[in-house]
Structure 1
């Protein structure tokens, strides 16, 4: 059985509707392409927790080596500059082995890049 690996990164961020209107497009069109350029990156999703004003991401990688390389990015200047641009502060970065899961074959594919327009600066 093929193993998968995951990186979780979490940040404290302003979650008000006005801020999220610029944060979500920035994540989709700037942060996600950067993260998906990592060797072995398979999927990435961002989540918002309105209860504690945090945003976190989970990125799935093909190999332990891919994950280890990606974990070095968790302390990169790109990450901290991107977070600062959004008014966010890094809280945590963790590495995991994926041990169970499923994807419903009937689930519709969601193309976030098409439904989230980029911000025009």
Structure 2
């Protein structure tokens, strides 16, 4: 399950981290990835499934999913990680690697203190870390 966790740094400032099954999740901006036709269908199916399972209107699910796209290294999938406040539920919806690719704007993806993922192959096949 995913959970936002409060992280307090040495400066005492509070930051919120997002975790999936104990692993840190890193936010992915939508312009960094491109979904293929099957990916668009997959996202539509996820929205419908979440709507049906939790009894929410499709438009509400779409609203909750905005700006909630994450990667959770070393898993190659993308995830929509969001909270449904009406029922106090955390949701994670996976979009497998076969349904998307990194765009030119994502040549380097920061992954926090561990360094940077450098994308050598724009199809995302060869990834390496630096830092």
Same fold (TM over 0.5): no
Q: Higher relative contact order by CA 8 Å / sep ≥ 6: 1 or 2?
A: 1
Larger Rg: 2
Q: Return the TM-score normalized by structure 2.
A: 0.29
Q: Which structure is higher in helix share?
A: 1
**Greater per-residue strand proportion:** 2
